[in-house]
Amino acid sequence: MRNLYELAVQLPPPLADKRLVLFDLDGVLVDTRANMLAAWSAVCRVLGVDVPFDAYIAEIGQPFGSIMRRLGIGHLSDSAEIIYRQRSALDLASAPVYADIALMLDGLYAAGRKLGIVTSKDSERTAILLERLPPVFSVVRCPDSACRGKPAPDHLLMAMALTRCDPCETIYVGDMASDSEAARRAGIDFLHAAWGYGERPPGTSLQVTHPEQIAHLLLPGKVECVG
């Protein structure tokens, strides 16, 4: 067990003025790596694609069509997305929530913080994963026809508008470079979740290695124990 002092000395100054905490979903709140591997393997098998999973997962966080274009198979985007979503939905409900995520979310919510999700996952599969998480989210933003996907800032800006929060009051917790860029373009702070799927983006000053550290950053003096 890590004591509070050991955690505190590793963290940058607290961000206690943040009223809105937005989270990416895959790789930050829920570990969907195995699910994505199975879904991508199905795409490769059915469409005869030879693109390694490591190449695919390095691009996640962006709209699916953008990922396909970056992988050089944009002409297969529509078929690949149908196959991917169908295979992913089969066992997505069993994807594990990261340890201490529920405790962290409940603590932030109880302290009066507004919470939200901004994800590149479609609304149907996002709803499956939300069943695994505490019902604490004021806003959930998924891909739609009105807003551009990450790394564009549109969904972050919309989340702030819907919750009546300013950029200076908002922080986005993500794990990919596209999350960091979207936060930068939205004018909000970015917190890198080191347990996720992407390396710490260049220029990122804020990083946590355990979910409970988020509470230490945003609720200084209110966290009494660490499990």
Amino acid at 132: R
pLDDT for the residue 14 = 54
pLDDT of residue 4: 43
Question: What's the pTM value of the predicted model, to 2 decimals?
Answer: 0.90
For residue 15, what pLDDT is reported? 81
Average pLDDT, whole number, for the chain? Answer: 91
